[in-house]
């Protein structure tokens, strides 16, 4: 009888330790995925703002870069993490002029990038949001 009690006790201890370990492992995976998604959004927003600063201002193309990672997404392309065009804010404050900046942001994710236009006359449109 003593042997069966010890076996039961070790089974309970093992299940408690295993549950704690799996919870910790799942938490680490979730944090890693969250950091990956946030960094990918930050990189895409920066790339889109830089593209907008180097090329003719086109809010639709800038949004495509944020959503799809390319200026011209292929047919049937899906946006990264289901991001919609309305969630991407694109503006060109101070344009045209020497204080021209291209601003791209995803407010829901807390990500924003502002790039100066190479030439004050490249971005010639007012702030835009779909």
32 contacts: CB under 8 Å, gap ≥ 6: none
Contact between 103 and 93 under an 8 Å Cβ cutoff? The reply is: yes
- 23-40 tens-digit pLDDT: 999 999 999 999 999 999
Contact between 115 and 88 under an 8 Å Cβ cutoff? The reply is: no
Domain regions of the chain by residue span: 2-116
DSSP string for residues in the chain: -HHHHHHHHHHHHHHHHHHHHHHHHHHHHHHHHHHHHHHHHHHHHHHHHHHHHHS---HHHHHHHHHHSSSSPPTT---GGG--GGG-EEE-TT-SSTT-EEEEEEGGGTEEEEEE-SSTTS--S--B--
Per-residue pLDDT at 123? 47
pTM of the model: 0.76
Question: Has residue 4 got a pLDDT over 80?
Answer: no
Question: Has residue 127 got a pLDDT over 50?
Answer: no
- 64-118 tens-digit pLDDT: 999 999 999 999 999 999 999 999 999 998 777 778 899 999 999 999 999 987 6
């Amino acid at each position: 009888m003593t042997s069966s009690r010890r076996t039961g006790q070790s089974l309970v201890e093992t299940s408690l330790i295993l549950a704690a370990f799996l919870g910790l492992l799942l938490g680490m995976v979730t944090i890693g995925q969250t950091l990956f998604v946030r960094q990918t959004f930050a990189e895409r927003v920066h790339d889109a703002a830089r593209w907008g600063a180097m090329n003719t201002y086109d809010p639709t193309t800038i949004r495509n870069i944020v959503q799809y990672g390319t200026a011209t997404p292929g047919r049937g392309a899906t946006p990264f993490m289901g991001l919609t065009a309305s969630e991407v804010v694109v503006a060109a404050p101070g344009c045209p002029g020497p204080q021209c900046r291209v601003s791209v942001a995803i407010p829901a994710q807390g990500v924003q990038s502002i790039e100066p236009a190479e030439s004050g006359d490249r971005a010639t449109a007012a702030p835009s949001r779909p």
